[in-house]
Chain A
Amino acid sequence: MPAKSPPPEPAFEAQLGRRRRWKLLIAKQETIPWSFQSTTFGLDSKVFTGLTALATVLILAILAVILGNVLVSGLPGLSWRFLTSGTEKDMFDVNKAGVMPMILGTAARVILMTIFVIPIGVITAVYLTEYAHATSAFTRVIRGAVNNLAGVPSIVFGLFGLGFFINYVGGNMDALFRPGAAEPVWGKPAILWASMTLAVMTLPVVIVATEESLRAIPPGLREASLALGATKLETIIKIVLPQALPGILTGGILAVSRAAGEVAPILFTGAAYYMATLPTHLYDQFMDLGYHVFILSTQSPNIEKTRPILYATVLALLLLTFTLNIVAILVRARMRKKMRALH
């Protein structure tokens, strides 16, 4: 049996206090475990922190490159004439074509959309925060449906708009109001159906934003109102909703900004390649800014020549969505500050 060296006398060290033992350990550098030495005082902590910071910077740099590229190449083309003229003769004519009908079409469809989505979204959020049991299975199902709706591919919304709104609702409206008519009036792509499709798509955005602002309202406000004899509904309409207005506004703006740039859902539900006149009825088709970007990038007879109007159109679209986004962020920041003061 090989002779074992006796274990180092633990008695002395064990007698010391924890601090003393620690100091002893520091003094005897070689006994400090390797992992401790290298990770605490070594390089890899700094290296990995640097790598994650680098990833963050890289994402921001990509964002900056995209925005910078569009801004630099688009700004020269973004003249007053470009914004206020239509595309009467040739939509690829660099000197004459403009985007006025597309801006109006996009604006009209998102405004119509808010009319549908805001009431439904706000009422759903009111139910979820004021009436529903926070943990019941049913509430979870609603919440799951809301989250799921947010993840449905945009092209599937387009198919849904075609199958449900145009073929089913529109087709039945035609059969009901104009039986025997040869040409469908409602059963074809229209600005109304595009807006409704987008309303379904942006419903989760409004619900989530409104819910957040409703939750931020201190319960004391509701309790005070109820204590003074107001009913629950009166409290919601007169106390809770006015307080939540900035949040509802944020939700609306975010929904508009999301919807303004979406192309896939309106491809089959209302957007037109070209229209000579502006839409005047709910059953008219419309030209759209985002769809126009797609047309200019993929259908142009000469991409080099039409590049200035393409960039200018992209810039116009980005300005629209980004302005809305930034306004939403600012409104939300102000709201949060105010709410913090109230609590």
Chain B
Amino acid sequence: MGLKRGHHARPGEWIAEKFIFLVALSAIVMIFLIFLFVAREALPVAFGKTSNSAVTKVITPDQMDKMSQTELMEYLELTPKQLAEMDKAILKELMLVKAEAAAEAPKDKDAALNTTSWPLMLKPHPWTGYDQPEYIWQPVSQIPKYNLVPLIIGSLKTTVIALLFAVPLSLAAAIYVSQLANPKTKEWLKPAIELLAGIPSVVLGFFALIVMASLLQGLFGYQSRLNAFVAGIALGLAVIPVVFSIAEDALTSVPRTYTQAALALGSSKWQAAWKIVLPAAIPGVFAAVVLGFGRAIGETMVVLMASGNASIVSGNLFDSTRTMTATIAAELAETVFGGHHYRILFLIGALLFVVTFLSNMAGDVIIHRLKAKMEGKT
């Protein structure tokens, strides 16, 4: 009788361990699936495979017999499976419909444009009725305009305002709570500030819309009640707990010996915090800002409710604005499944995913390095 070793000894346990390993991959699998399935819906637009140009070469139904299968498929925008299922009469009918649609196309020079192409999604275009080339996001109109620039600017505008408001406040609070407050106060200060993270973003949006908008308008006297500024401040409230927690963790991870040495040399508590601990923890603080940026640009409900949602390109902070996230939330429900608008919204989603993915990665790497450094020095 040979000695049983390894997984022969306890096959049940071996299987269980493999199972645990497989489940542990779930987070990686999910990240992968999220990107795959969001990008999948956006691929045709991303690779320029779509066209919504209303004017096409019209082929009369009697010419159908001369066309090859692939030509027919492309002309009628059918999949091979659909084509196989249809008989000649139906195909002829479809050709008629197509010809009619082409005849009804709006008499507008813009109708011939493929507005789902990259140049028209990113560059300004002199649309009919506009004096100069402009960036227009107007997906529901006779000639849908899908320029992404107003949305990207909207997202950046609200995010920058949010960070300008939230970062100084939360950094100061993090320095106070981790370095200057006495331990007893610290014990309840930290959870109290983190309670802000427990407020659902829809409630922050509600508060911005119902209370803050009028209050800030009265204070600053700008024109439109809902604008990038209100949305940015409300967004800042969502960012504060993120930046605070990470910065506080980073500051606390600096070994106590640093502070003790500084105090022993005669510095004040503030000097130790400002000149010794903060410089040591600066990568963590940077990571906090990066992760706060990711949180701000991805936040949906707050900006959907408080930004006014007008897709204008302007540098004025008090103009109504429309962000990428709010556009997806507001418009996806009304799009045709698989249509151009639907795909472009998924494209925006994929773009958001990539941006937040990169900022999260950066934040993660920075924090990891800082932790390793600090633990090595303790």
Residues on A close to B: CB < 8 A?
36, 39-40, 44-46, 48-49, 51-56, 58-60, 62-63, 66, 69-70, 119-120, 123-124, 126-128, 131-132, 140-142, 144-160, 162-164, 167-168, 200, 203-204, 207, 231-233, 257, 260-264, 267-268, 290-291, 293-294, 297-298, 303, 307, 310, 314, 317-318, 321-322, 325, 329
Q: Per-residue CB proximity of B343-378 to A under 8 Å, as 1/0? A: 001100100110011011101100010000000000
Q: Write the nearest CB–CB distance from B261 to chain A, whole angstroms.
A: 16
- A204: nearest residue on chain B (CB-CB)? B27
A131 touches B295 (CB 8 A): no
**B205: Cβ under 8 A from any A Cβ:** yes
CB pair B198–A131 under 8 Å, yes or no, is no
26 residue pairs of the A-B complex, CB under 8 angstroms, read A36-B266, A52-B173, A52-B176, A58-B169, A63-B195, A66-B237, A123-B23, A124-B27, A144-B361, A150-B360, A153-B297, A153-B299, A153-B300, A156-B356, A158-B328, A158-B332, A159-B349, A260-B200, A261-B203, A291-B202, A297-B205, A310-B210, A314-B203, A321-B200, A322-B198, A325-B198
Contact B353 A156 (CB under 8 A): yes
**CB pair A163 B346 closer than 8 Å:** yes
Question: Does the CB pair B329–A59 fall under 8 Å?
Answer: no
Question: Which residues of B sit under 8 angstroms from A39, Cβ to Cβ?
Answer: 267-268, 271
Q: Is B108 interfacial (CB 8 A cutoff)?
A: no
- Chain A residues with CB under 8 Å of B25's CB are 142
Residue contact A267 to B333, C-beta cutoff 8 Å? yes
Which of B31-39, B51-59, B123-131, B142-150 forms part of the interface with chain A?
B31-39
Contacts A293-B203, A322-B198 given; does A131 touch B33 at CB 8 Å: no
On B, residues with C-beta under 8 Å from A are: 10, 13, 16-17, 19-21, 23-28, 30-31, 33-34, 37-38, 40-41, 168-170, 172-173, 175-177, 180-181, 189, 191-193, 195-196, 198-207, 209-211, 237, 240, 244, 266-271, 274, 291, 294-295, 297-301, 304-305, 325, 328-329, 332-333, 337, 345-346, 349, 352-353, 356-357, 359-361, 363-364, 368
Complex contact A164–B33 (CB within 8 A): yes
Q: Complex formed: what's the CA distance from A151 to B232 in Å?
A: 19
Complex Cα spacing A151 to B367, Å = 15
Contact assessment for B268 and A40 in the assembled complex, using a CB-CB cutoff below 8 Å: yes
Residues of B within 8 A of A314 (CB): 203, 206
Bound CA span A257–B43, Å: 35
- In the bound assembly, the distance between CA atoms of A263 and B150 in angstroms comes to 24
Q: Number of contacts between A and B (CB, 8 Å)?
A: 261
Which interface residue of A124, A141, A318 has the most chain B CB atoms within 10 A?
A: A124
A160 touches B27 (CB 8 A): no
Q: A39-B271, A49-B176, A314-B206 are in contact. Are A59 and B20 (CB under 8 A)?
A: no
Known: A127-B21, A329-B191. A207 touches B300 (CB 8 A): no
Check if B27 sits within 8 Å of A203, measured CB to CB. Answer: yes
CB-nearest residue of chain B to A231: B13
Answer whether A156 and B34 are a contact pair too, CB < 8 Å, given A257-B198, A260-B200, A268-B332.
yes
Is B201 a contact of A153 with CB atoms below 8 Å? no
**CB–CB B300/A264 < 8 A:** yes
Cβ of A50 to closest chain B Cβ, rounded Å:
10
User: In the complex the two chains form, is A60's CB within 8 Å of B209's CB?
Assistant: no
Determine the chain A residues whose CB is within 8 A of the CB of B304 once the complex forms.
Answer: 294
Q: A156-B34, A156-B38 are in contact. Are A55 and B198 (CB under 8 A)?
A: no
Is B20 within 8 A of A127, CB to CB?
Answer: yes
User: Are B203's CB and A318's CB within 8 A?
Assistant: yes
- How far in angstroms is the closest Cβ of chain B from A31? 16
Residues of B close to A152: CB separation below 8 A:
31, 34, 298, 353, 356-357
B297: chain A residues at CB < 8 Å are 153
In the complex, residue of chain A having the shortest beta-carbon distance to the beta carbon of B301: A263
8 A-B pairs with the lowest CB-CB distances in the bound complex, closest first: A261-B200, A153-B298, A55-B172, A127-B24, A52-B176, A163-B37, A151-B360, A264-B300
B297's nearest neighbour on chain A, judged by CB, is A153
Chain B residues near A168 (CB, 8 Å)? 37
In the bound complex, CA of A69 to CA of B359 (Å): 35
- The docked-state distance in angstroms from the alpha carbon of A318 to that of B203 is 8
B211 touches A69 (CB 8 A): yes
User: How distant is the Cα of A77 from the Cα of B294 in the complex, in angstroms?
Assistant: 37
- Closest B residue, CB atoms, query A151: B360
Least Cβ distance of B323 to chain A in Å? 10
B218 to chain A, nearest CB (A): 16
The residues of A that contact B364 with a CB separation of less than 8 Å are 144, 147-148
Q: Which residue of A lies closest to B23 (CB)?
A: A123
Q: Taking each of B31, B207, B270, which has the highest tally of chain A beta carbons within 10 Å of its own beta carbon?
A: B270
- A261 B201 Cβ-Cβ under 8 A: yes
* C-alpha spacing A61/B20, complex, angstroms: 46
- Which residues does chain B contribute within 8 Å of A232, judged by CB atoms? 13, 17
Q: Give Cα A163 to B170, complex, Å.
A: 37
Task: With A49-B269, A148-B360, A153-B352 as known contacts, state yes or no: A59 contacts B240, CB within 8 Å.
Answer: yes
Give every chain B residue within 8 A of A264 (Cβ-Cβ): 201, 300-301, 325, 329
Complex Cα–Cα for A147 and B362 (A):
11
Smallest CB-CB separation from B26: which chain A residue? A120
Q: Are B192 and A294 in contact (CB under 8 A)?
A: no
Closest-by-CB residue of A relative to B179 is A52
Given contacts A160-B33, A261-B201, contact A151 B28 (CB under 8 A): no
- The listed residue with most B CB atoms (<10 A of its CB), out of A140, A298, A307, is A298
Given contacts A63-B192, A164-B37, A263-B200, contact A45 B268 (CB under 8 A): yes
Given A51-B172, A52-B172, A293-B203, A131 and B31 contact (CB-CB distance below 8 Å) = no
Q: Which residue from B34, B40, B175, B268 sits with its C-beta under 8 Å from A157?
A: B34
